Structure 1
Amino acid sequence: MNAPVKIETTLKDWETDQEVRWCPGCGDYAILKAVQRTLPTLGADPKNTVFVSGIGCSSRFPYYMESYGFHTIHGRAPAFATGVKLANPDLDVWLVTGDGDGLSIGGNHMMHVLRRNVNMQIMLFNNEIYGLTKGQASPTSRVGTRSPSTPVGSFDAPINPCSFALGANARFVARGFDVSKKLPEVLAAAHAHEGAAFIEIFQNCIVYNKDVFDAFAAPKGAEDQQLWLEHGEPMLFAGGAKGIALDREALELKVVEVTDGDWQAADVLVHNAKNRSIAHMLVEMPFGPFPMALGVLYDDPRPTYEAAVADERERATRGKTRDLAALLATGQTWTVSGTAADPV
């Protein structure tokens, strides 16, 4: 595997001539622009970049990126993306999926691409609804969600995507939301991670689940409900007036007041992105009493799947001559002689 050669590009180099077709006001537009703005800062090469998607509104994404792309089948994008990465580990692979595509029919595939740690960026657009198929409740829909499939309100306990990822042994887990100016920073951090990088992106479905995230993700006025995490920095929010501390007796997180900027006196935690236990606590914080934890929650690399596969192939073939004919003739074989004209 070779280190990618960085090149200079602009946002325009990543835009296609295809008409972008999402509902007016859809959060997908903002995510698309965030990705197109991020890739030039990474020195990414369109000729070395692949976007793989499944089925759903988010899965139109490959059509709108001036790179290679595969629009695959429902829930199976992780399997296709794994095959792409194993066939050519030098490619920069981005997987685009939604809460329905990636956590319902595709939940099993998502789990395995995470536990295997295949080196790719996984963007899961979470709008808590099935948008493309007209608004049914999804695996992340909240209890009480009214939809065509749950007309009197959903009673299913929703999946927490980041908890799912951590439970599947993902080594990088992050969160952002569609219109956030910090989303490109999160995408860049995911790209820098060597391995499967899982990013949950809260995305506003303007038609079927409008403004469901406004309490923490509205374009204006929700900043006090956002806890943006940065490795080595204190967990402060609400303009530094509040922080997250650990109740050492109950072994659970709590919100504390910070006076005169003295976060040490308030015993505010310093974010350690390698602390898996605290990452679990952060993603499980109930919103309302707590802010929404955003940014890089967990980042602790380990060897990648494709590197292990390449190493295994090298060890298995070391000192051996590659001879397909000899392989096919190995074991019990038969030789058929004569011609087609000979009697049977």
Structure 2
Amino acid sequence: MSTDSSALPVLTAKDFASDQELRWCPRCGDYSILAQMKKVLPKLGIPKENFVFVSGIGCSSRFPYYMNTYGFHGIHGRAPALATGVKVSRPDLSVWVITGDGDALSIGGNHLMHAIRRNIDLKIILFNNQIYGLTKGQYSPTSPLGSRTKSTPMGSVDNPLTPLCVAIGSEATFVARAVDVDIKGLVNTLERAAAHKGTAFVEVYQDCNVFNPGAFEYATDKKLKEDNLIYLEHGKPLIFGKDGQKGIRLNEMKPEIVELGKGISEDDLLFHDEKAEEPSLAFLLSRMRHPEFPEPVGVFRDVEKPVYDDRVNAQVDAAIQDKGEGDLEALFNSGDTWTVT
């Protein structure tokens, strides 16, 4: 985006707050995500009128109402399709998709997958609370096996999806995970996503304190999270734990937890490489799940590949140069036509 940021008015978080009443449940994790988004956007040097937020259906999908930007509240699961049309037709805009685990991974799974594999320059933020909140507590595609909900009173027998596995399997060029109450980590992740050219997919662990409270307590409780999370840093070994004495190494192709200082040094550990063209390492990390392993948070993958909207518009420009500007009326009246009198 070739905007001269020096000529723009100085924006603040308040400039991105709409006049709409926030209508999420008290203590919902959505509040934090909204607050951090409003902190990040003024830093990007983009005019406020060049932001567009597109959502589907669900608690998270009320997001466009609460942003003082352009936006669409679309239909269930179709936000990536709507956002694709916006970005291809207006490549100068910064287009963000706000979705949830139910909206994106059930009815919207097909649209999500194809937006990612095309590498459209979209920022897709998936709020994962492992439940259908808006419709009052049914299990979702990310609900753990055995979850007892209003629609699975005897426990879910569905194998849950891992959103990052779906994204990486669809060849996403930027993949990250953040936690709603980790302010510093969430802000940094959103900034990284905004700077990426291509599809940036961010999963945010988000607490639904009404229908699925405490689902991510292991990742938010100050006494627990150091032993349950690994903070990814490019080029650094995978180390975790309160005293920083635990790590992850590969045993053949399987990760295993080891302790440092018992014949094992940092050099023996798995080192993170977010720039690797081959996505196997990122996929392996996305498969590490609590409680068997500490879960990675941060940027899993950040690589450069051709961007769909650039390629489409290059074809349009080439066609115009070759054949001239189109004539829509002439097109409508070409071939077989009928006159109704």
Aligned ranges for residues 224-235 of structure 1 at < 5 Å? 224-235=227-238
- How far has the Cα of 1:221 moved from its partner? 3.9
Aligned residue for 2:54? 52
- How far has the Cα of 1:69 moved from its partner? 1.0
Aligned residue for 1:23? 25
Aligned residue for 1:244? 248
Distance 1:309 1:257, change over 3 A: same
Aligned ranges for residues 191-270 of structure 1 at < 5 Å? 191-218=194-221, 221-238=224-241, 239-247=243-251, 250-259=252-261, 263-265=265-267, 267-270=268-271
Aligned residue for 2:159? 157
Aligned ranges for residues 8-19 of structure 1 at < 5 Å? 8-19=10-21
Aligned residue for 1:318? 321
- How far has the Cα of 1:334 moved from its partner? 7.8
1:248-269 Cα offsets, whole Å, 9 max, x none, are: xx31111221239x8434x122
CA separation in 1, counterparts of 2:12 and 2:246?
39
Distance 1:47 1:323, change over 3 A: closer
- How far has the Cα of 1:159 moved from its partner? 0.5
Q: 5+ unaligned residues in a row in structure 1: which ranges?
A: none
Counterpart residue type for residue 302 of structure 1:
K
Aligned residue for 1:187? 190
TM-align CA RMSD: 1.9
CA separation in 1, counterparts of 2:338 and 2:144?
64
Check conservation: 1:246, 1:253, Cα contact below 8 A. Answer: yes
CA separation in 2, counterparts of 1:328 and 1:135?
50
| Equivalent residue in structure 2 for 1:292, among 259, 283, 295 | 295
Check conservation: 2:320, 2:326, Cα contact below 8 A. Answer: no
CA separation in 1, counterparts of 2:44 and 2:227?
30
| Equivalent residue in structure 1 for 2:44, among 34, 42, 45 | 42
Structure 2 residue matching 1:50: 3-state secondary structure: strand
Query: Quick check: which has more Rg, 1 or 2?
Result: 1
Aligned residue for 2:140? 138
1:157-196 Cα offsets, whole Å, 9 max, x none, are: 0011000111111111100110012101011111111001
CA separation in 1, counterparts of 2:86 and 2:257?
44
Distance 1:210 1:315, change over 3 A: same
Q: 5+ unaligned residues in a row in structure 2: which ranges?
A: none
Matched residues, percent identical?
50
CA separation in 1, counterparts of 2:208 and 2:198?
30
Aligned ranges for residues 45-124 of structure 1 at < 5 Å? 45-124=47-126
Aligned residue for 1:3? 2
Check conservation: 1:54, 1:73, Cα contact below 8 A. Answer: yes
CA separation in 1, counterparts of 2:301 and 2:77?
25
- How far has the Cα of 1:329 moved from its partner? 5.2
CA separation in 1, counterparts of 2:210 and 2:156?
18
1:273 and 2:274 equivalent?
A: yes
1:282 and 2:281 equivalent?
A: no
TM-score, length of structure 2 as denominator length: 0.92
Check conservation: 2:179, 2:219, Cα contact below 8 A. Answer: no
Counterpart residue type for residue 314 of structure 2:
D
CA separation in 1, counterparts of 2:125 and 2:21?
22
Check conservation: 1:234, 1:263, Cα contact below 8 A. Answer: no
Counterpart residue type for residue 204 of structure 1:
D
Counterpart residue type for residue 212 of structure 1:
A
Distance 1:83 1:257, change over 3 A: same
Structure 2 residue matching 1:318: 3-state secondary structure: helix
CA separation in 2, counterparts of 1:56 and 1:327?
41
CA separation in 2, counterparts of 1:294 and 1:318?
47
Moved more, 87-96 or 267-276: 267-276
- How far has the Cα of 1:321 moved from its partner? 2.7
CA separation in 2, counterparts of 1:23 and 1:330?
56
Check conservation: 1:180, 1:219, Cα contact below 8 A. Answer: no
- How far has the Cα of 1:60 moved from its partner? 0.6
1:117-162 Cα offsets, whole Å, 9 max, x none, are: 1101100000000000000000000111111110111010001100
Distance 1:13 1:288, change over 3 A: same
Counterpart residue type for residue 318 of structure 2:
R
Counterpart residue type for residue 55 of structure 1:
I
Counterpart residue type for residue 211 of structure 1:
G
